[in-house]
Structure 1
């Protein structure tokens, strides 16, 4: 009987599955008529060879409905919408004779009429139509349009005699079909000789000097894309060689052969034509050949008002520039001329115009400038007028944010800043900012902190100079077109939360410059940070796992009367006595380390490790560092989905202070560390490599990869890295299967409440795809961990010893849902512990692969 019931149950499951598949299939074809075919696939063949190139695929005018893991989600959502919701509502309303009258009495006639516009009646259908896709029913007009596009594309590649057809191949399943596009290419045409017809002798000379860089060459296959790129190259070349008014439309090519005639050689001659400028409304330029212009005079209007006159302005001459101003010149002349890359009596270069625009915008003192060129055609000279409209002297910014983290349930952060421009007359910018936050702690952290709220308050004074502020002249090494900036910042921050409560003071002197749009250098010559722990006695309350390990060791001695002062009563009935905090715990540790309490070798090692961690996390830190960051980013704009980004950072701390030992009589503590203002300064070397690569798999689908390596090595005056400079693993921008500070170090299992170390490896791979409308999806895999190396850690499970330690790399996999608000992305990522190095070797794979142990992460914008 049991076997019979099991068989019937299995049959029922199979039947239910078949019913679901049938319903899905029927829903897919719901809006496909009997005489129509649903497009399921497009295939392009060039000379019988299948073509998968994205450029070719983008030419197809009609494509199948999008799918999610093989399921056409958006099509089925669209089919859920009622075709005519108004008619359906009216039919329902009049289906029963008295239904409309009852509704009119209950709601009123006006309300009943409004029902048909409600979300239930009409809004839901509009919503499904908006996020869904109508069925891609094969349209022969669109298929022929695709053939024409394919022929035109291959025609642009030199296959002038190609031909194309399409065929509709019905599928095995009803009302479905594929479309095959077949292009016969024939032999391509090759460029035999390039002739030239250039109306201007000056342009002819410039062209001849650049022939080696030409993108159109003899013997190569004809490719229209190369001709378009060559036109752009020549336009840029001429405009950077003095021809300020050169128009790309003046360049065209003639093919000196009848390409409809097929021959054995398929060679053709091409003639380059560069004509006179077309009429621009200036009769003096019409029908005149292009000429190389020099800059006759450069005028700078420093107080320009749009629509205002210039006759009443005063002026001064400064290094071949004429500066006009109103009443009083508010800017140092050098600050203005350093931003201008035009020079008197030099030839015009479009590059100088672009650099001038960039540098003036970079000053953050003026609005986007207006540059005017007035030609003197008789002498081929230009008068340049640069109009600078000042921004407001002062501006105020206010921000308010609502935050959430693993520490607080909800928080409110507010900040404000006052910006003062042109502080010293050299277009400097002064930014004075203040910030604060208050948050409600979650349940566990309330018990740790003994308080309900966390708070933070801080402020900065930041001044930016649009030049390298240095005793030596750096202009030859870092010219002004690289947008150099110097920044000096001084700030402080007061933090009160579940931790030890910190006060920090920091000061930064940094320089940055950008040789190009994709390259940036940043040097922090001085980065000084002082961190003071306000409440060090709260250590064992905050780091409860650490306290629990220590208390377990002390349990063996709690009944001995000579150690009674170390303990206090506990509310836990299973453990009625625990170490007192902080005195009892600290005194017990000292007694163990002094040999006054007999413990095992393993216990002594653990107590020593706990004490070292307590001292490191409760001691004040003085970090006196310098660093250099190199950033390379190939991303063109926000819509570029195929790019890479590389960042290298090198940092050194404490070396200058160490070199002054002897010159300055430093004091020393019991550990023989040098003290500055009574605090041992940190000494370490740190390096980081961060690489991000995005590949555009297809339209709206992106494969994103990131790798990170970070290593900080303490030496000299330090045996470990300051907590604020160490690494942690886990969180919404790292390994999303673990919470922040939860993973590692190495194969250890949550030995501390906030796990950190000085070596980190991380790799992330994420596939991003559209789901419906502004809703996006992602599948991801995160790998990485942290370890201790070259420091005072002695736990072998936490130390990176050799390549065998790579077995401790944790793996988290999962999926994410994102909503695109245009200006930002809201995302929810769910990560599952796929490989957990903290488990036994035989239990590391998929042991906690469930929602109960998953990591839920909320974030703004993509993690990388």
Structure 2
């Protein structure tokens, strides 16, 4: 505190000394620059993007002090290189001149023109009250006017009929510009690049954005409120137009050259089998039209095999065709990684060790085998008494064989059409969990097929997904209490006990995901959709007693092994809308639904526990604890997970900027709604069963606010949520918002902390 007072005294003293008060710079200087009239475009944005006004913010002390200290530094060091003792005073005042005035006006006007304000007016006034001290102020008044929008009433000027036809098709289906979008001249550069890529994908190898001219057409609307565009090819103002821009090129068969990891000098031609496998990935056939996107997808397919350190391509263009030469540098055959870490739960450390080994080129030049092992010794809450802490020992072992192609019949491959990034995976796994309450093992056998139809469409298909699960209990009081607890839950309609019975769960699974944006912490516009279909125990329908006797006899337990037959459907849709001229706010919407139906009477028509739906928690209904809501209006203690066979869930969230502090701190307001239900069965309470004429009365609603601290590389989230409608209450007592409290009560506020957005 003492040092602060001394520093403040020094500042007051130096500002009052005669040398500063009477100092007059040898040339005219800018005292200040003020900006007024900004409504749509913030003043901070203008100061950030227009250089001449960038450092003209208001200062704590007078300009005379800054100029005085600047002059003292220059006297001490004629080159101006001496480091100042006080960095606080190093922002120089620019020199006042007519040229500077002209540049400020022109550059602010240009910035507004770039942002679509074509009729903006920039007025400058000179404040010469301090002229005797060679200081001048500049007052900028901006009349923004109305922002222009694209009308989409465009003209096309192209002499080549083939190119003209492609432009027309592009403008109808692919254009980045849509009607009534705010005019922004930077979008025109993006439009030129997108149109050039469109031509490159149609065989025009030499075509580039320099061959395209896009100009504003101000003839159709003299008010400039709605502006059309003129597309011109070739661009009359283009400087680097290639004479072959309108020539179509076709591929010859590609040549693959490989550099061995142990030989870093020579590229060698690949053998026949490797060439054939690589051809299936890059999918370039002799006579095909040149396509820039197809080339990139093919190279990505090869790189995703994880066999090569680098993948590059060059073309021989000496002929009228393109001859691709693809150069590959092999990765090491063996790759071993090890990770040691830990977690802390209630002050008790939980270390873990993860090792993985990858062996490349096992049976062919493109396959690999992964081995992984994880051992952890972690603390967790007790299963019954959550206030107690138990030690948990866990081992996870897995191995998988991966090949960059789809092992499917040829007819099936033709049915799929064009696709890329294919992968077939076969694997085995073993999980072991040792808790004071139980010992649990799970043997897994799985197979997966992955592929994409485009950069936005992802597919997964699994024909084999087998799990053999068993639980045993040590001879301890804790284990005995846990078994009694499962019996009590069973009597209350909770099927958790089935998860601890010997079980064989098999299923066929299909998943489709569409996403038209890249995942990021930044606010975006777009949507994503996910559809999952699963059929469990399908083959059991064709076997006696709906069981696999071989499995039953091979793994004999104290209880008969449970075999499950079920169908499961899940749907996930999310929409993101940007708000405001700058798109710095967002409305995010989520809708989830699901059905899971067990048709196997041998298990009393119940699902494997993991195939149920759950609701509540930081990424679900945030006013309820994780997995504790429902089913229906069923009243529970809140200490146990609440499974359901039917899911309806939705959230809407408004996200907006607040302040900048070591990153962006954003706010959020949200409303969550939904519930889970069961199908009508004799062992389920009626209040937990889905009824078409009553389910809407059992929809839970929560609301709240939150903070998102965006550090660019990750986002920290805090949400405070409270119940609005609690379906567990009596019909006339469901509205509980007025009963919100920060302490224990009927409706306490739930605190949720997470990483990343909730959806």
The answer to whether the superposition gives a TM-score over 0.5 is: yes
2:742 is the counterpart of 1:851: yes
Counterpart for residue 711 of structure 1? 595
2:667 and 2:705 in contact (8 A); partners too: yes
When residues 411 and 737 of structure 1 are mapped into structure 2, their CA distance, relative to the original with a 3 A threshold, is farther
SS state of the match for residue 215, structure 1? helix
Distance, in Å, in 2 between the alignment partners of 1:832 and 1:371 is 57
Q: Is the 8 A contact 1:371 1:385 kept in 2?
A: yes
User: 1:784 corresponds to which residue?
Assistant: 674
**Counterpart residue number, 1:823:** 713
Question: In the alignment, which residue of structure 1 is the partner of 2:22?
Answer: none
2:256 aligned to which of 300, 320, 335 = 300
In structure 1, distance between residues paired with 2:152 and 2:517:
35
Corresponding residue number in structure 2 for 1:741? 627
Q: Compute the displacement of 1:362 (Å).
A: 1.9
Does residue 1:164 correspond to 2:121, yes or no?
yes
Distance in 2 (CA, whole Å) between partners of 1:854 and 1:186 is 46
1:771–1:777 Cα contact (<8 Å) kept: no
State how 1:569-584 maps to structure 2 within 5 Å.
none
In the alignment, the residues of structure 2 paired with residue 758 and residue 789 of structure 1 have an alpha-carbon distance, to the nearest angstrom, of 7
Partner of 2:647: 760
Mapping of residues 208-607 of structure 1, within 5 Å: 208-210=164-166, 212-213=168-169, 215=171, 231-232=192-193, 234-252=195-213, 272-273=233-234, 291-296=247-252, 298-303=254-259, 309-310=265-266, 315=269, 318=272, 332-376=274-318, 379-403=319-343, 411-442=350-381, 452-472=390-410, 474-478=412-416, 481-497=419-435, 500-535=438-473, 541-542=481-482
Question: Which residue of the other structure, out of 61, 73, 83, is the alignment partner of 2:46?
Answer: 61
Deviates more, 1:492-501 or 1:185-194: 185-194
Deviations 1:216-263 (A, max 9, x none): 99xx99987897677446523442343322232133368999999999
Residue 672 of structure 1 aligns with which residue?
A: none
The one of 642, 647, 656 equivalent to 2:539 is 656
Aligned mates of 1:848, 1:503 — CA distance in 2: 45
In structure 1, C-alpha distance between the alignment counterparts of 2:490 and 2:191, rounded to whole Å: 71
| TM-score (ref. length: structure 2) | 0.72
Contact 2:699 2:727 in 1 (8 A): yes
> How far apart are residue 816 of structure 1 and its match?
2.9
Work out which of the two has the higher radius of gyration on C-alpha atoms and give 1 or 2.
1
Q: C-alpha deviations, 1:378-435, integer Å up to 9, x for none?
A: x423332111111222222333454477x99764444221122222114112111111
| One of 576, 588, 607 as aligned partner of 1:694 | 576
Give the unaligned 5+ runs of structure 2: 1-30, 49-56, 66-84, 90-100, 126-138
SS at match of 2:453: strand
Cα deviations by residue, 1:166-218 (Å, 9 ceiling, x for unpaired): 799xxxxxxxx997735389999998975445xxxxxx35314436426399x
CA gap of 1:254–1:422, structure 2 versus 1, over 3 A, is same
- Residues 794 and 184 of structure 1: CA distance in aligned 2, closer, same or farther (over 3 Å): closer
Return closer, same or farther for 1:196/1:467 CA change in 2, 3 Å cut-off. closer
CA distance in 1, matches of 2:231, 2:713: 48
Rounded Cα–Cα distance in structure 1 between residues aligned with 2:621 and 2:674: 7
Q: How much has 1:646 moved relative to structure 2?
A: 0.8
Looking at structure 2, the residues matched to 812 and 761 of structure 1 have their Cα atoms a distance apart, in angstroms, of 14
**Of 128, 145, 149, the match for 1:183:** 145
Any unmatched runs of 5+ in structure 1? Answer: 1-34, 45-55, 64-77, 88-116, 127-138, 169-176, 198-203, 281-285, 319-330, 551-606, 670-674
Aligned residues: CA RMSD? 5.0
Contact 2:249 2:290 in 1 (8 A): yes
Task: Note if contact 1:654-1:681 (Cα within 8 Å) is conserved in structure 2.
Answer: yes
Partner of 1:15: none
Does the Cα contact within 8 Å between 2:122 and 2:141 map onto a contact in 1? no
SS in 2 for 1:516: coil
Count of residues in Structure 1 that have an aligned counterpart in Structure 2: 647
Change (3 A) 1:409 1:545: farther
Cα offsets for 1:695-746 (capped at 9, x unmatched): 2234543332222112211113431111121122222222222222322222
For residues 489-540 of structure 1, what are the alpha-carbon distances to aligned partners after superposition, in whole Å with 9 as ceiling and x for unaligned?
Answer: 2111112336544211222112121101111111111211122122299677
Contact 2:211 2:233 in 1 (8 A): no
Tell me if the contact between 1:766 and 1:780 (Cα under 8 Å) persists in the aligned partners: yes
